Amino acid sequence: MGRPRFRYSPWDGTQSGFELDAFDVMEQITDDLLYNGDLASAIRRMMQNGFQDRNGQRVSGVRDILQKLREERERRLEQFNLGGVYDEISNELREVIQTERDELDRHIADSESSDGGSDRSGELTRSSATAKQFELDMLPPDLAGKMKRLEHYEFESAEAAERFAELAQRLREQVMQSYLKDVTDAVENMSPEGLARMKDMMAELNEMLEARQRGEAPDFEGFMGRYGDMFPENPQSLDELLEVMARRMAAAQAMFNSMTREQRDQMRQLADQLLDDMDLQWQMDRLGENLRQMFPGAGWGASYSFEGTDPLDMASASSLMGELGDLDQLEELLHGASDPGALADVDFDQVRRMLGDEAASALERVSQISQDLKEAGLVEQRDGKMELTPKGMRRLGQNALAELFRKLDKDLLGKHDIDSKGFGHERSFQTRPYQWGDSFDINLERTIRNAVMRGEGSPVHLSPDDFEIEETENMVRSATVLMLDLSMSMPMRDNYLPAKKVTMALHSLISMQYPSDYLGLVVFSESARVITAEELPEVTWDYVYGTNMQHGFQLARQLLRTQSGNKQIIMITDGEPTAHINRFGVPEFHYPPVQETVDATMLEVSRCTRDQIRINTFMLEPDPSLQHFIEVLTRVNGGRAFFTTPETLGDYLLVDFIEQRRTMVRGRR
């Protein structure tokens, strides 16, 4: 078989493979998680604030989507005028009446030209036409009253009669659609037969709802068999059907709520007049009441303040109210989403229609954050709480370590001229030609390769020059306890996150590179306590005052007592000792520090020195008093002190740790 062939092309934005994965998500929440110590909150803030993908493009978070949603709502409210619903009907009705008046005027003019009478067949007399004019003059001022009178009025104008019939039919359809659009879309022309069937459907639907409220099982399948053609969305359950209808009826209610009181009264009377069917109206009211009880949060009391100039007819207003209701529902869902998984209930196609492709894609991507982390094995749900898995903790430490090493200048490590090669058990994954006297740790792959490259065919013959051996490092065990200051001054001075990140990085370095080494963890503020590596990601500062180095040294010494090899304590702090454990076993705080606290701390330093435990101190922005204390501590113990900043802490600590680790290797040769 030939070698596989690959083709390359410039990136044009259409290729796949650059999406954010779970490990990228973990990297982006590392700082938040380390600072606040809460995995669920870190994920929630990422969901709210958004993130960057691998191309450096920002993916919108929930806050951005909410802002766009509000802007879309405001755009609609500033563009349209709901009074147009009333005005449009009023104007059309006025035109119908004017057309009829024109026809009556023609009759009067014809009768006058024939000396007060008319001998043409079918023509009105002057008195009859005048009577009809008076009847039009006496029409009620409200829309509902006009519609009711005109339904019983005998038009003389065929055009006016036809336009009035079309208007009444259209308004009847729009009134029904404003309440039950998905149903009435499937009923053509709202004929008497169609209205009767709709009334039967609504009666059965109400009976099903009331049967459910009594604890009975409604026959949804039978209902859909009889009326399924009236529901083009093909709902799969009674709940799905009812939710759609509740949203539609709530939107119609919101339209009425948004009108002025006069307009609202007029439109309600008009709706009652147009339906003109007491049983149908009763079934609709009954359905509305049932749906209110089932879906109290559907927005029945919503209202909107329209400030625009573009008029809306009833159909457009009904559609717009549905859109505003959908925006409100989405806003409520996003506000209530406590984690990305809650976004699974979002209808992303609906978001795409309302807010565009970018918003829908971003929201869909954000909704997958938690699931991606779970599928990658980085987090798990334990006792109802999301927690890091061992794999997730390792990844967190690796992220912290990688960030610190990226900050280091490559030449910085190069300045340490250390020969790390020797005899032992830790592989350096480097090879070299065998020399007489070397341990015969053969690297078979390199040896055979050398023979093949040198030879001229098969069989392969080995010569002494072909042999390569593995290089190893001397195995030296080190035992370290890292003491992390959790007093209030650490976050107040912005020292906490760098210190926490260095702690995670050091743990990751030792776990990966020096698995035989021991690393203990002690945190201290007013008092000290031992924590495990599993607790480290979620540990945070203490809301108390006090820097109890004495108790920290005491616990660190106890941890190292059972360890072998080179022992050291690495302390990260930004304050002088202001607390100690008194003779009653109670932490005692004094600021400024008292001599008793200093003496108790130095006693523990002396005990560590006696046990051959070196104390290396990394001081963050120390004041002169702290600097003086650390100089005394270092002189007594023989350890080292580093005056550093949050920006350079990682550089100092990691380089020093590696330097000391290699120094121990040289010392064992």
282-326 pLDDT tens trace: 777 787 788 888 888 777 777 778 777 887 766 677 778 778 888
Per-residue model confidence (pLDDT) at position 187: 46
pLDDT of 190 over the 60 cut: no
**180 three-state secondary structure:** helix
Position 270 pLDDT exceeds 70: no
Instruction: Assess whether pLDDT exceeds 90 at residue 465.
Output: no
615 phi-psi bin (left φ>0, alpha ψ -120 to 50, beta other): beta
Residue 472 has pLDDT above 70, yes or no: no
Could you tell me the end-to-end alpha-carbon distance of the chain, in angstroms, rounded to an integer? 51
Confidence of residue 404 (pLDDT cuts 50, 70, 90): low
Q: Residue 668: which pLDDT band, with cuts at 50, 70 and 90?
A: very low
Range of the domain at 453: 426-473
Q: Are residues 434 and 465 in the same domain?
A: yes
Give the model's pLDDT for residue 425.
41
In this prediction, residue 495 has a pLDDT band, given cuts at 50, 70 and 90, of: confident
3 state DSSP class of 431 = strand
Identify whether residues 384 and 500 lie together within a single domain.
Answer: no
The dihedral through the CA atoms of 451, 455, 457, 462 has a sign that is: negative
Tokens of 412: 């910085």
Q: Is residue 649 part of a domain?
A: yes
Do residues 565 and 652 both lie within one domain? Answer: yes
Q: Identify whether residues 71 and 106 lie together within a single domain.
A: no
Is residue 418 a part of any domain in this protein? no
One-letter identity of residue 229: D
Q: pLDDT over 70 for what percent of the chain?
A: 77
How many Å apart are CA 520 and CA 433, to the nearest integer? 40
Cβ neighbours of residue 179 under 8 Å, at least 6 residues apart?
248, 249, 252, 284, 288
Is 323 inside a domain boundary?
no
What is the per-residue pLDDT for 1?
Answer: 42
Report the distance separating Cα 591 and Cα 600, nearest Å. Answer: 15
Q: Are residues 431 and 535 in the same domain?
A: no
| The pLDDT of residue 669 | 44
Q: Which among 421-425, 433-437, 447-451 has the top mean pLDDT?
A: 447-451
User: Considering the domain boundaries, does residue 573 fall inside one?
Assistant: yes
For 18-31, the pLDDT digits (tens) are: 456 778 888 888 88
The total domain count for the chain is: 4
Domain at 636, CATH number: 3.40.50.410
Q: Output the pTM of the full model.
A: 0.62
440 and 345 in a single domain? The answer is no
DSSP designation for 548: -
Give the pLDDT band of residue 488 (cuts 50, 70, 90). confident
Please check whether residue 189 lies inside any domain of the structure.
Answer: yes
Same domain? For 117 and 64 the reply is no
CB atoms within 10 A of CB 127: 12
Identify whether residues 530 and 662 lie together within a single domain.
yes
Both tokens assigned to 197? 């069937």
Average pLDDT value over all residues in the chain: 78
d(CA 261, CA 273): 18
Q: Which one of 349-353, 495-499, 591-595, 600-604 scores highest in mean pLDDT? A: 600-604
DSSP state of 466: G
Residues 337 and 233 in one domain: no
The reply to whether 125 and 183 lie within a common domain is: yes
Residue ending a domain, choose from 303, 321, 348: 303
Give start and end residues of each alpha helix (H) in 80-140: 83-113, 126-137
> Is 399 a member of any domain?
no
Q: Residues 218, 283: one domain?
A: yes
> Is residue 290 a part of any domain in this protein?
yes
- Residue 410's pLDDT is what? 42
Domain shared by 101 and 203, yes or no: yes
**pLDDT above 90: residue 138:** no
Residues 6+ positions from 65 with CB-CB distance below 8 Å = 334, 351, 355, 359, 362, 363
In a domain, 308, yes or no: no
How much is the pLDDT for 581?
Answer: 93
DSSP string, 188-249: GGG-HHHHHHHHHHHHHHHHHHHHHHTT----HHHHHHHHGGG-TT--SSHHHHHHHHHHHH
**Contact assessment for residue 592 and residue 626, using Cβ atoms and an 8 Å cutoff:** no
Domain endpoint, select from 368, 388, 408: 388
